């Protein structure tokens, strides 16, 4: 078993994918194994990269995150963290949690807080859920 957590980043906005990947690359024990711009690409990469955790946007063209999430959970249940511009956890649709989402992370923004704090939180979520499932 390796200590490196393999992450798939899924978001339709190229800028947001780059921002998330930049945050994640700051952690030495997190490896971004792929990036997708919609659910269709995510499903294809999910099968080939076998990530430990998925950072998933919900609102995307061609195939949304909820449809992709259903596929992930039916194929190989994997920890999924929804990365969303919603600023309040209370606004996250209950269905996402019912389908297996383990947590919510606000999309990185200079308005949300220090980048270092955002990085620590995202890496904390990814590593803790991954290791929890290994127990």
Give pLDDT tens digits for 61-95.
Answer: 999 888 999 999 999 999 999 987 764 555 556 77
Q: Which residue ranges of the chain lie beneath pLDDT 50? A: 1, 87, 111, 135
Res 36: pLDDT: 97
Count of domains for the chain: 1
C-alpha 56/C-alpha 54 separation (Å) is 6
CATH number, domain containing residue 11 = 3.40.50.2300
Range of the domain at 33: 5-134
Give the pLDDT score at 1. Answer: 45
Whole-angstrom distance, CA of residue 20 vs CA of residue 15: 9
Give the model's pLDDT for residue 122: 82
Give φ, ψ of 91 to 5 degrees. -90, -5
Euclidean distance between CA atoms 83 and 106, whole angstroms: 6
């Amino acid at each position: 078993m390796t200590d490196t957590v393999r992450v798939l980043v899924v978001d339709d906005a190229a800028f947001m994918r780059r921002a998330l990947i930049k945050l994640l690359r700051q952690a030495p024990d997190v490896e971004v194994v792929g990036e997708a711009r919609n659910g269709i690409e995510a499903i294809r990469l999910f099968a080939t990269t076998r990530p430990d955790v998925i950072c998933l946007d919900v609102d995307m063209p061609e195939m949304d995150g909820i449809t992709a999430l259903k596929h992930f959970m039916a194929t190989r249940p994997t920890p999924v963290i929804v990365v969303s511009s919603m600023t309040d956890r209370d606004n996250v649709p209950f269905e996402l949690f019912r389908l297996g989402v383990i947590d919510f992370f606000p999309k990185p923004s200079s308005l949300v807080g220090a980048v270092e704090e955002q990085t620590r939180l995202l890496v904390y979520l990814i590593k803790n859920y991954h290791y929890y499932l290994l127990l």
